[in-house]
């Protein structure tokens, strides 16, 4: 898998039949260990649970049955997404296609709430800060303190990212803002070439991506369900080509 900084060229078209060209499939990673334990995860790098690995394999099998031939894949740098990507592509026998990782597809950063369950977070910070950051588009969770060992600046995977871009906590709006340029500069151009693209990411990041491609309101995005391991397929809108229409959930 190639890091974002090393891959600025277009993906080569697949050698498979082009019946799926020009399609976009969004996939949330399979259930993670902290999804299972109902803990705020954010940028914490936990792996898939046993159930999550099975979800990823089922997603790959569904996509294989659809006859999809991806030209390339984008995913985050977090293990639960990269592991899902590996399982899906192996199941589809597409291990050879290029995969580009980027921190811009990471989950929303949940700041100081990361690692906590909901009730533990409420006891520590009170109900309003915890609830606001989940239901208000511009509200951030309590931030990591300076010097906290969980800050992403201490992780070598983010060494090439400017310090000002690395979050201590993010709102839904912040997540959308850091995703927008990557969509415009990397994903959308691949789709404009007629490529079939898979994006494996996280719940709140995929919500932000759907807001970009479908033009949904803030309220619609916050309430949108994005189950683990369930592919969402999109095709270009016939009236407004820069927007995309959801075909169906597989």
The Cα–Cα gap between 88 and 96 comes to 12
CA distances from 22 to 70, 100, 105, 230 (A): 10, 18, 21, 20
pTM: predicted TM-score of the whole model, two decimal places: 0.92
Residue among 227, 226, 190, 228 nearest 210 (CA): 226
Instruction: Return the higher-pLDDT residue of 243 and 143.
Output: 143
The Cα–Cα gap between 239 and 228 comes to 31
Architecture of domain 2-249: 3-Layer(aba) Sandwich (3.40)
68-81 residue pLDDT tens? 999 999 999 999 99
Choose, from 4, 29, 55, 195, the residue flagged as catalytic. 29
Choose, from 4, 33, 55, 107, the residue flagged as catalytic. 107
143-152 residue pLDDT tens? 999 999 999 9
Residue among 57, 87, 68 nearest 21 (CA): 68
State residue 6's pLDDT score: 38
pLDDT at 218 exceeding the cut of 90: no
Long-range Cβ contacts of 164-168 (<8 Å, 24+ apart): 167/43, 167/109, 167/111, 168/109, 168/111, 168/143, 168/144
Compute, in degrees rounded to 10, the torsion defined by CA atoms 193, 194, 196, 197: 30
The Cα–Cα gap between 202 and 139 comes to 19
Domain ranges of the chain: 2-249
State residue 7's pLDDT score: 46
Residue among 184, 181, 193 nearest 23 (CA): 193
- Cβ atoms of 82 and 202 within 8 Å: the answer is no
- Cβ atoms of 158 and 167 within 8 Å: the answer is no
Please say if 4 is a catalytic residue.
no
The Cα–Cα gap between 163 and 143 comes to 15
State residue 3's pLDDT score: 55
1-17 residue pLDDT tens? 545 543 456 777 655 44
Neighbours of 165 (CB within 10 A): 11
Please say if 107 is a catalytic residue.
yes
């Amino acid at each position: 898998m190639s890091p974002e900084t090393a891959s600025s060229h277009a993906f080569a078209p697949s050698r498979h039949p082009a019946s799926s060209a020009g399609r976009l499939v969004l996939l949330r990673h399979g259930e993670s260990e902290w999804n299972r334990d109902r803990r705020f995860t954010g940028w914490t790098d936990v792996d898939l649970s046993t159930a999550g690995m099975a979800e990823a394999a089922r997603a790959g099998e569904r996509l294989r049955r659809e006859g999809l031939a991806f030209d390339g894949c984008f995913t985050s740098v977090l293990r639960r997404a990269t592991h899902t990507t590996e399982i899906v592509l192996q199941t589809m026998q597409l291990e050879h296609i290029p995969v580009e990782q980027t921190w811009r597809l990471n989950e929303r950063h949940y700041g100081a709430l990361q690692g906590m369950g909901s009730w533990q977070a409420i006891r520590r910070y009170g109900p309003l800060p915890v609830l606001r950051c989940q239901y208000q588009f511009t509200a951030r969770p309590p931030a990591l303190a300076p010097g906290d060992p969980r800050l992403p600046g201490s992780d070598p995977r983010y060494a090439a990212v400017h310090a000002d871009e690395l979050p201590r906590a993010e709102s839904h709006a912040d997540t959308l803002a850091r995703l927008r340029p990557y969509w415009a500069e990397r994903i959308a151009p691949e789709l404009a070439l007629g490529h079939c693209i898979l994006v494996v990411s996280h719940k709140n990041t995929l919500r932000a991506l759907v807001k970009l491609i479908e033009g949904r309101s803030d309220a619609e995005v916050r309430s949108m369900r994005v189950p683990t391991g369930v592919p969402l397929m999109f095709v270009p809108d016939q009236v407004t080509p820069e927007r995309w229409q959801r075909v169906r959930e597989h």
